[in-house]
Structure 1
Amino acid sequence: MQVVSAPDVARYLSWKGVIRRLHHTFVNGVESPPRHHHAMHRPDGEATMLLMPAWEAAGYIGVKMVNVFPQNADHGMPAISGLYLLSEGKHGQPLACIDGSELTRRRTAAASALAAQALANENAETLLVVGTGKLAPMVIEAHASVRPIKRVLIWGRNPSKAAAIADEYADRFDTQVVESLPTAVAEADIVSCVTLSTQPIIKGEWLTPGTHLDLIGAFRPQMRETDAECLRRADVFVDTYAGAKGEAGDILQAIEEEGFRFDEIRGELEEVLSGTQLGRTSEDAITLFKSVGASLEDLAAAIELWESLPRSPS
């Protein structure tokens, strides 16, 4: 069994490759039971363990274990860590143990980029990233691989972290740390939220015609990054109906407030990619993509990585 480190995941899992693989996997499907979600009460706060299995009908098998510790931010450590175990499908023998954190970050950003490829305006040039964690650089790179991003605005509660990201990408884009979210949202073609917020950060009244809103952070019912007005004003799409119904806090809390109905969701990503559901309807439409993550995404990314790794001579 091969051990694949985080640097190797970053080196061999290209944006073009993983986005193409995700498209194939969403359209063709795999077996992906609901993920196991376990709350863990720790001395310094609540944490979460996620177990996410998936397998092809006659191919690869995989499972991811993820630990989510939001309190790690107080110690300068990533909030998310984990491992992915990929096995071959003929005899169920393990092939690789993959760094789950890097795999998760890249497949998450790639799924949002895949959605943006279908839902954002083709000439989208300005990206606003809300949040400064480990996912922020990933969404910059992923969105730039599918849209002609020239300008990147960055907002975060910690201005020094936002400045560090702006400096990191200053040679590739016109980067700017922003203080006024309403102004930045109004200027952006794509707004990508990557936070662990439990309160709305983005308000629907700030959205302008043509904006694509990408919501990544809220993966539990108690979390949210937007108010209900965002959903009311937008054509809403989700990665999967099952995930949205069980865990998408932005949607579930808006429904609880009677500001949105589940049947108002326009479609899940597979429907848009397969052409059974229309995505963007006009340049002025406001689109919203809410993802909570799906095990099929991890399996797709792990397969793409495994098949891209260099092989030792036999």
Structure 2
Amino acid sequence: MSFTSPSPAPGTLDAAATAACLPWDALAAEIAALLQDSTVSVPARTVLPLPQGGSLFVMPATDSRVAMAKLITLTPANTGTGRPAIQGDVVVFDVTTGERRLVLDGPTITARRTAAVSLLAAQHLAPQAQGPLLIVGAGVQGLAHLEAFVQGLGVRDVWVASRSAASAEALVLRAQALGAQARTVADADAAVPHCPLIAVCTPAHSVVLSAPPRPDAFVAAVGAFTPAMAELAPAFCRHVAAHGHIVVDSEDARHEAGDLLQAGLDVGMLPTLREALQRQRAPSAGPVLFKSCGWAGWDLAAARLAMRLGTEGAPPTQATP
């Protein structure tokens, strides 16, 4: 019996090549398109505990053309060691042939799709989308949200608050390189009254924002993704619930959004981003809190875009296998 050898699988794309497949505006648009695609199937993610507080995440998703699985580890103990806290890959398959088509850098996918979801939410829900923008937390997600909001919304004034002065200064320099004015601030709460755009991007070990937002504020909170985690003070969340609007990124957030659950809010009654976009109009008045916990559907959107740009456009540079 003879067997036909499959076509050689492509090499793994490194972080830079993965990012090149995911321009901010195009990725936000792909996420919006995915939310209208009835063929998308996203089972609940599997999270397995690892020693020293780490976790292994297994996140599959499919549509009519693409199947993908994200396999990453989160290792908080790596902070400050030079090793990344998030490591892993996103493997993309053609559903018709079963062929593996791409292997994308997992941390890059996670950073860019998270910020692109915040960008999409801001494009549709932010009352004052031009900023100034306050970024709380100057790590990977702080950088991703800086780039997404500067390049996707046209923000030109950025304030950075971080417990690490060196990280805050580095993010300021990056903002300036992108053409924005930028400064560091010692107290995030003191900056809140001056900033109608806020991105809270910390590891969520403790509350970092307590001051109530402006009536025209849009707040994207992305650091807390379990019921035990929180970046926002309970009073902050209750203020927005009473005077404005709260939107969660997916149905999974209804049992994962620690900020909201710890505030005693009925998270199950809050609209998802899909539902908010279907209304096709921005909230009428009051601050908007967009609470994002992550969802494999966002990774699928990134995989779809990378497949399209990688096969129909110029092939991205591949890392050495």
Question: For residues 290 and 86 of structure 2, what CA distance do their matches in structure 1 show?
Answer: 22
Given that 1:78 and 1:134 are in contact with CA atoms closer than 8 Å, whether structure 2 keeps it comes out as: no
* Superposed CA offset, 1:148-180 (max 9, x none): 311111111111110011112214111001002
Question: For residues 266 and 120 of structure 2, what CA distance do their matches in structure 1 show?
Answer: 25
Question: For residues 96 and 19 of structure 1, what CA distance do their matches in structure 2 show?
Answer: 20
Given that 1:118 and 1:280 are in contact with CA atoms closer than 8 Å, whether structure 2 keeps it comes out as: no
Alignment partner of 1:208 is 2:214: yes
State the partner residue of 1:289: 290
Given that 1:122 and 1:147 are in contact with CA atoms closer than 8 Å, whether structure 2 keeps it comes out as: no
Alignment partner of 1:217 is 2:223: yes
* Superposed CA offset, 1:96-136 (max 9, x none): 11111111111110001011111112443211111111121
Q: Percent identity?
A: 27
Structure 2 counterparts to residues 166-177 of structure 1, below 5 A: 166-171=172-177, 172-177=179-184
SS, match of residue 199 in structure 1: coil
When residues 311 and 207 of structure 1 are mapped into structure 2, their CA distance, relative to the original with a 3 A threshold, is: closer
State the partner residue of 2:6: none
> Which residue, out of 9, 14, 21, partners 1:5?
14
* Superposed CA offset, 1:163-207 (max 9, x none): 01111221411100100222211111111011112322111x432
When residues 289 and 123 of structure 1 are mapped into structure 2, their CA distance, relative to the original with a 3 A threshold, is: closer
> Which residue, out of 239, 243, 257, partners 1:248?
257
* Superposed CA offset, 1:9-62 (max 9, x none): 122311111111000001224100000011112xxx210111100000x21101
Given that 1:27 and 1:274 are in contact with CA atoms closer than 8 Å, whether structure 2 keeps it comes out as: no
SS, match of residue 167 in structure 1: helix
RMSD: 1.6
Equivalent position amino acid for 2:189 in 1: P
> Which residue, out of 183, 186, 189, partners 1:179?
186
State the partner residue of 1:32: 42
CA drift of 1:264 comes to 4.8
State the partner residue of 2:283: 280
Alignment partner of 1:233 is 2:230: no
> Which residue, out of 148, 163, 174, partners 1:142?
148
Question: For residues 181 and 117 of structure 2, what CA distance do their matches in structure 1 show?
Answer: 24
CA drift of 1:272 comes to 1.3
State the partner residue of 2:4: none
State the partner residue of 2:5: none
Given that 1:236 and 1:264 are in contact with CA atoms closer than 8 Å, whether structure 2 keeps it comes out as: no
State the partner residue of 2:110: 104
State the partner residue of 1:47: 54
TM-score, normalised with respect to structure 1: 0.90
When residues 263 and 245 of structure 1 are mapped into structure 2, their CA distance, relative to the original with a 3 A threshold, is: closer
Given that 1:233 and 1:286 are in contact with CA atoms closer than 8 Å, whether structure 2 keeps it comes out as: no
When residues 23 and 40 of structure 1 are mapped into structure 2, their CA distance, relative to the original with a 3 A threshold, is: same
SS, match of residue 4 in structure 1: coil
Moved over 3 A (4+): none
Question: For residues 274 and 156 of structure 1, what CA distance do their matches in structure 2 show?
Answer: 35
**Structure 2 unmatched ranges of 5 or more:** 1-8, 317-321
Higher mean C-alpha displacement, 192-201 vs 289-298: 192-201
Equivalent position amino acid for 1:307 in 2: R
State the partner residue of 2:196: 189
State the partner residue of 1:74: 80
TM-score, normalised with respect to structure 2: 0.88
